[in-house]
Amino acid sequence: MSITQNYRVSVLENGSERFAIFYRNGAGQFDLRFGWGRYTSSMHSTLEDAIIDFRNHLQREHDDRNDGVSVSLADPIAITEQAAKEFSPAHE
């Protein structure tokens, strides 16, 4: 996977903050990289589309559980490859 840029997005669920990491590949397409691997879907033509798709999947999970949680996302922030790897499940 050729990654040219990484982005961190703050995800708020019921007052709790976590982070999702998105990436842009060499072909200029975007997808989720770290944070919620089960939501990785297909590549998107824009970062905004990738983030919206992720948010919709996450919100739908809460809606299915009927837990009343509303998901909100902050604007993406460009981060370095090293910073992105700190969110990897393999990072110790």
Q: Name the average pLDDT for the chain.
A: 90
Q: What class, spelled out in words, does domain 3-85 have in CATH?
A: alpha beta
Q: Quote the Cα angle for 57-58-64, to 5°.
A: 85
Q: Specify the pTM.
A: 0.88
Beta strands per DSSP E along the chain: 3-13, 16-25, 30-34, 71-73, 77-79
pLDDT grade, residue 2 (50/70/90)?
confident
Question: pLDDT tens digits, residue range 11-48?
Answer: 999 889 999 999 999 999 999 998 876 666 689 999 99
Distance CA 44, CA 55 (A): 14
Predicted pLDDT at 38? 66
* Domain layout of the chain by residue ranges: 3-85
